């Protein structure tokens, strides 16, 4: 199944889940209310999520004067990806990590933690930032925001349905035998958020795999990102990041503490699987393009990818 088709299918499932809950909770009026709620949340997320997440993590914008090497890497990757130059931010966090945000490629932001810049070499930083630029190119920021807000809408409606059931309310269809009744509403209000979370997780994991593959293309080879993921996995256990669970899906690796119950529903694929996929596939980049990347070992890179 193609990546885009799978994503569209999963988003369709989330939309259907919202409308279904709205219908059960309030008939046709509830269905319309659920649709308006979902669209409103998506609109807000689309326009303001970048400003919110940057403020949450106290990120500050930097330019070529303050961080010339970092800025040059992002500029080079943007040129290879044929994307506008995104704004570059640094997050004052010891834990190495990074994310991309922004409503479209013309308003994109790439952010890296101070810990990432201290613990990674240039090749690894390039791999991480190439992954984030791949999210920008693939419109994953918008897709992730939509999935997250739609899952949030399901949870809001489920909570409303639960309270309605406790207070003896429900859809008018209940009286005609077509609704779920109070107990049915309670059961649905518990299962629906779990289903929405699982769908959101599936969407996010699918986009992470795709960003890894696309990022390897932008970087010129997969090894820098593969090594970076190995380091990120080790550091995430030693230096957990103080992250908001609602924004955890945006980072290149799950920033939440290892062992957290939230990790049972992680929006990130297993690091081992991501690394294995990177090292088991070739980027199939034309030789001329690799030689133009500016990597020191362009010839060796080409032989490794061709071998």
Under DSSP, is residue 99 helix (H, G, I), strand (E, B) or coil? Answer: strand
132 has catalytic annotation: yes
Could you tell me if 86 and 110 are in contact, meaning their C-beta atoms sit under 8 angstroms apart?
Answer: yes
* pLDDT in the model for residue 90: 97
Q: Which residue has the tokens 């080079």?
A: 76
C-beta separation of 290 from 305 below 8 A: yes
Q: Identify which of 72, 141, 73, 71 has the alpha carbon closest to the alpha carbon of residue 106.
A: 141
Q: What is the pLDDT of residue 32?
A: 75
What is the CB-side half-sphere exposure of residue 40 using CA atoms within 13 A?
7
Q: Which residues of 136-156 are buried (b: 16+ CB within 10 A; e: fewer)?
A: bbbebbbbbbbbbbbbbbbbb
Q: Exposed, middle or buried: residue 16 (CB in 10 Å: 0-12, 13-18, 19+)?
A: exposed
Q: How many domains does the chain have?
A: 1
Considering Cα of 89, then 91, then 97, then 101, what sign does the dihedral take? negative
Q: How far is CA 189 from CA 92, 154, 155, in A?
A: 39, 9, 8
Q: What would the two tokens of residue 254 be? A: 């799950």
The predicted structure's pLDDT at residue 279: 92
Q: How far apart are CA 99 and CA 110, in angstroms?
A: 6
List the catalytic residue out of 124, 132, 208, 223. 132
The one-digit pLDDT tens for each residue of the chain (307 residues) are 455 666 667 677 777 777 777 776 666 776 677 777 767 776 777 788 788 889 999 999 999 999 999 999 999 999 999 999 999 999 999 999 999 998 889 999 999 999 999 999 999 999 999 999 999 999 887 777 777 777 777 777 777 777 766 666 554 444 444 455 667 667 777 887 787 778 878 888 888 999 999 999 999 999 999 999 999 999 988 888 888 877 887 899 988 755 544 455 677 889 999 999 999 855 444 433 333 333 343 334 334 433 3
Predicted pLDDT of residue 176: 45
Nearest partner of 5 among 142, 192, 210, 248, judged by Cα:
210
Tokens of 37: 């709620």
Per residue, what are the HEC states of 213-280? Answer: HHHHHHHCCCHHHHHHHHHHHHHHHHCCCCCCHHHHHHECCCCCCCCCHHHHHCCCCCHHHHHHHHHH
pLDDT at 281: 58
Torsion from C-alpha of 31, 37, 38, 43, nearest 10 degrees: 150
pLDDT of residue 67: 93
Contact 111, 70 (CB under 8 A): no
Say what the pLDDT of residue 64 is.
94
What is the enclosing helix (H) or strand (E) of 284?
Answer: none
How far apart, in whole angstroms, are the C-alpha atoms of residue 259 and residue 261? 6
What pLDDT score does 247 carry?
82
**For position 16, what pLDDT does the model report?**
75
pTM: 0.74
Per DSSP, the three-state class of 298 is helix
Domain of 43 in residue numbering reads as: 3-306
């Amino acid at each position: 199944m193609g990546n885009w088709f799978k994503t569209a299918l999963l988003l369709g499932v989330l939309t259907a889940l919202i409308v279904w809950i709205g219908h059960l909770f309030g008939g046709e009026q509830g269905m319309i209310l659920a649709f308006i709620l979902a669209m409103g949340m998506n609109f807000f997320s689309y326009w303001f999520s970048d400003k919110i997440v940057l403020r949450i993590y106290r990120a500050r914008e930097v330019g070529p004067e303050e961080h010339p090497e970092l800025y040059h890497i992002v500029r080079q990757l943007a040129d290879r990806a044929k994307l506008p130059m995104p704004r570059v931010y640094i997050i004052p966090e010891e834990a190495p990590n990074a994310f991309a945000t922004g409503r479209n490629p013309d308003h994109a932001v790439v952010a890296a933690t101070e810990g990432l810049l201290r613990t990674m070499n240039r090749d690894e930083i390039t791999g991480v930032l190439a992954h984030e630029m791949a999210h920008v190119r693939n419109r994953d920021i918008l897709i992730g925001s939509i999935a997250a807000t739609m899952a949030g809408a399901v949870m809001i409606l489920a909570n409303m349905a639960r309270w309605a059931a406790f207070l003896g309310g429900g859809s008018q269809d209940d009286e005609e035998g077509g609704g779920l009744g109070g107990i049915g509403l309670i059961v649905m209000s518990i299962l629906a958020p779990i289903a929405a979370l699982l769908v959101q997780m599936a969407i996010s994991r699918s986009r992470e795999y795709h960003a890894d593959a696309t990022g390897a293309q932008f970087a010129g080879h997969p090894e820098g990102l593969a090594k970076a993921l190995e380091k990120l996995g080790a550091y995430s256990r030693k230096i957990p990041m103080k992250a908001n669970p609602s924004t955890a899906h945006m980072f290149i690796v799950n920033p939440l503490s290892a062992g957290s119950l939230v990790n049972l529903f992680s929006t990130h694929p297993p690091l081992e699987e991501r690394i294995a996929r990177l090292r088991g596939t070739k980027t199939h980049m034309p030789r001329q393009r690799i030689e133009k990347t500016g990597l020191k070992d362009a010839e060796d890179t080409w032989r490794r990818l061709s071998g």
